[in-house]
Amino acid sequence: MLKKLIAILFFLPLLGSTCQFGSAHFESNLKNFSFNPDGTIFAYVENKSDSNGAESRLIHVMMTWISIDPGRDLNDFGETQKNLIIQTFKKHDRLYMTFDNNGTIVSFWIQTEMPGVNVDKLSKVASLQSYHIDDYTVSGKLIFEDSAPLIGGTFTAPILQGKAAEIAKQNWEELTK
């Protein structure tokens, strides 16, 4: 906890924004459970159409422990600050998922340093139990079925649109290289 506090105090001036986007809360029956991707949570919607012209959409949700403005281009930071943000990002809890109109998860990835948790297994048993989407936010309940220990949580993410969504997507891709 002290390490996180020191990191927060160190990074706030670097990030230029102390704003937290979205919210997430996860719980488990695991002793000393700690999965906290609740610094920045955001989403963007990708509208697609298949070869027959049928419309569908994919909802991309990203969660990370660090607080950063997802619509601010990482290239706006100096190279040293940018590298420090990337290194810190890769050391802490983060989650990415994509689901379709039916709430079916089509892509899922998680990073955590929780002892006793197999992240490869978590990725295979992730299940979106419910979700709600409107023009501005997406929220949902996520559980990891058949996981030992039992883990579940809720999230609410603002939906970024236009240029902010493009920048956030580029940032996420760069942060997860």
pLDDT digits (tens, 9 = 90+) for 131-144: 999 999 999 999 88
Q: Is the pLDDT of residue 118 over 80?
A: no
What's residue 72's pLDDT? Answer: 85
Give CA–CA dist 8/90, Å, rounded.
Answer: 15
Give 154's pLDDT tier (boundaries 50, 70, 90): very high
What's residue 149's pLDDT? Answer: 61
Q: Is the pLDDT of residue 94 over 50?
A: yes
Give CA–CA dist 105/92, Å, rounded.
Answer: 23
What's residue 30's pLDDT? Answer: 73
Give me the residue spans of the domains in the chain. 2-175
Count of residues in the chain: 177
Cβ pair 71, 15 in contact under 8 A:
no
Q: What is the percentage of the chain residues whose pLDDT exceeds 70?
A: 85
User: For the chain, give me the number of helices (H) and strands (E)?
Assistant: 4, 8
What's residue 163's pLDDT? Answer: 92
Q: Render pLDDT for 100-114 as a digit per residue (tens, 0 to 9).
A: 989 999 999 888 877
What's residue 138's pLDDT? Answer: 95
Cβ pair 98, 59 in contact under 8 A:
yes
Overall pTM > 0.85:
no
What's residue 148's pLDDT? Answer: 60
